Amino acid sequence: MHLYVLDVVYWSLVDILESEALIRVCKPFFYVDDLIIDEVKSVFTEIVKSYKNEFFEDLFNIGYPDVISKKEDFIEVLFKYTKRFKSKNDSNRIIFLNILELLFSIFKKDDEAFCFLDNEPKHELINNFNSFYLFRIEDFKHSYHILDEERQVMDYLATYSPKLNNFKFITSNDCQLIQLSDVMIGFFRSLFLFLENIEREKISDIFDSFDNVQRATLKKFFQIYEESVNTDEKMVVFTLSIFDFYKFNTLRELCK
């Protein structure tokens, strides 16, 4: 199997943090934690998900991502939810939260650090997912890709024909492989929703509480996963919170 595992909240908002300023703030910690940048992004995702409706309503009200003219309002939103999250969480997130607050302070003082949000359309977090289709088609040029018919994607990929001719579109009603892929996508979505809402330290106990069918299903899934990534590690790509990825690998080890 090959698939792209995408956390839409993580992906849609990570550009808020992506900057030279983030590297500068995290640099003192590199010698003890070389993944700290990914962890800071992941904590920010946790903040957003903890107050998702309120957070996105506030962003909508100031026209995000077109916020250059409302820089102070935007940064105040970032501070507001970071501080709220900080007041309700234990010390294992404190370093990441302090880094976020320091980063937002730099954004507030330094227009150059903030310029990555320039010339953005209002109220448009994600325009489309077309690039993900192209990414997989180009990455596996010697494979033939069967895709479910989606007009926007079809029009987008048509601009690359005949340069790329290793794919075709068919209706899912006519193809059991596409139907099976939809089942796998649903399984993956449910798996990560489950992982997102539990603590990593509790995964082993929860796994032990599963019945035989649940454990057998997970073990079969991870067997397929292992065969895929052992064939080519690019078969499965993750764009999501690194903490959720840690949890995924914890469960993966339990299923071996």
**Residues 19 and 116: beta-carbon distance below 8 Å:** yes
Express as a percent the part of the chain with pLDDT over 70: 98
Rounded distance between C-alpha atoms, residue 149 and residue 161, angstroms: 16
Task: Tell me the mean pLDDT in the region 74-86.
Answer: 97
Dmax (CA) for the chain in angstroms is 57
pLDDT of the residue at 112: 80
Q: Of 35 and 3, which is predicted with more confidence? A: 35
H/E run at residue 216: helix 212-231
* Model-wide pTM > 0.85: yes
Residue 89 scores a pLDDT above 90: no
Express as a percent the part of the chain with pLDDT over 90: 62
pLDDT of the residue at 117: 56
**Per-residue pLDDT tens over the stretch 162-218:** 788 899 999 888 888 888 888 988 999 999 999 999 999 999 999 999 999 999 999
Chain mean pLDDT for the chain: 91
pLDDT of the residue at 119: 67
The sign of the dihedral angle between the CA atoms of 83, 92, 202, 227 is: positive
So where are the chain's domains? 3-117, 130-254
